[in-house]
């Protein structure tokens, strides 16, 4: 049983609502801010160098997570900010949207952050991000040839993720 309660690789990933190339790009960071993976499918505008881009993205999400948790009006006891929690527990920021794109975010208890940037009218991507995390576990973590903390260079993972994201609505 995976920790999300799904079986081997979720046998039924979320159904795509419409066909077409919806995903713009995806980042995967580990707990230390190292960018493990950056995939790009549709990104006409690039303003920064790769390194600056990754640092900016990581810093942005770190700050957003803290901010959203601190501004939470509902829960009385904040607990320990910065402690990784299961997605959905505590107060976790999961997406923001502008008029040109939507950024969806998920962090696992082990500190793996997955960011998916898509078309602004895409629906809630939380299930999709969980599925991508499952793919990460199956094809990266369980790959004997991968050493943790290094950029991901596993062909199987790349192809499966590409296929999956292309099918997203």
Nearest residue (CB) to another protein, 91 versus 154: 154
CA–CA gap between residue 110 and residue 122 (Å, rounded) = 27
Does 145 sit near another protein (CB under 8 A)? yes
| Triad 7, 9, 11: Cα angle to 5° | 80
Residue with tokens 């601190």: 70
Q: Which two tokens stand for residue 120?
A: 């602004």
* Binding residues with another protein: total (CB under 8 A): 12
Tell me the closest approach of the beta carbon of residue 21 to another protein, in angstroms: 21
Selected from 5, 82, 144, 148, the binder of another protein by CB under 8 A is 144
Does 158 sit near another protein (CB under 8 A)? yes
Does 162 sit near another protein (CB under 8 A)? no
| Maximum separation of any 2 CA atoms in the chain, in Å | 46
Site string for another protein, 114-143 (x = CB under 8 A): ------------------------xx--xx
Does 157 sit near another protein (CB under 8 A)? yes
Tell me the closest approach of the beta carbon of residue 56 to another protein, in angstroms: 25
- For residue 133, give the nearest of 40, 30, 50 by alpha carbon: 30
Question: How many Å separate Cα 47 from the centre of its chain?
Answer: 21
For another protein, which stretch binds (CB under 8 A), given 10-18, 78-86, 105-113, 147-155?
A: 147-155
- For residue 128, give the nearest of 117, 141, 142, 139 by alpha carbon: 117
CA–CA gap between residue 93 and residue 118 (Å, rounded) = 17
Tell me the closest approach of the beta carbon of residue 108 to another protein, in angstroms: 16
For another protein, which stretch binds (CB under 8 A), given 10-18, 87-95, 100-108, 150-158?
A: 150-158
**3-state class of 28 per DSSP?**
strand
């Amino acid at each position: 049983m995976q920790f999300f309660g799904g079986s081997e690789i979720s046998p039924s990933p979320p159904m795509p609502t419409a066909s077409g190339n919806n995903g713009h790009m995806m980042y995967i960071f580990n707990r230390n801010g190292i960018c493990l993976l950056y995939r790009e499918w549709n990104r006409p505008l690039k303003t920064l160098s790769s390194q600056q881009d990754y640092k900016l993205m990581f810093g942005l999400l770190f700050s957003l997570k803290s901010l959203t948790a601190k501004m939470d009006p509902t829960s009385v006891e904040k607990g320990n900010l910065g402690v990784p929690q299961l997605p959905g527990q505590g107060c976790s920021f999961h997406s923001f949207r502008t008029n040109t794109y939507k950024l969806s975010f998920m962090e696992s208890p082990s500190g793996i952050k997955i960011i998916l940037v898509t078309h602004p009218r895409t629906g809630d991507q939380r299930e999709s991000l969980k599925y991508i995390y499952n793919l990460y576990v199956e094809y990266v973590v369980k790959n004997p040839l991968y050493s943790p903390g290094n950029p991901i260079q596993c062909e199987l993972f790349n192809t499966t993720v590409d296929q999956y994201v292309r099918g997203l609505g």
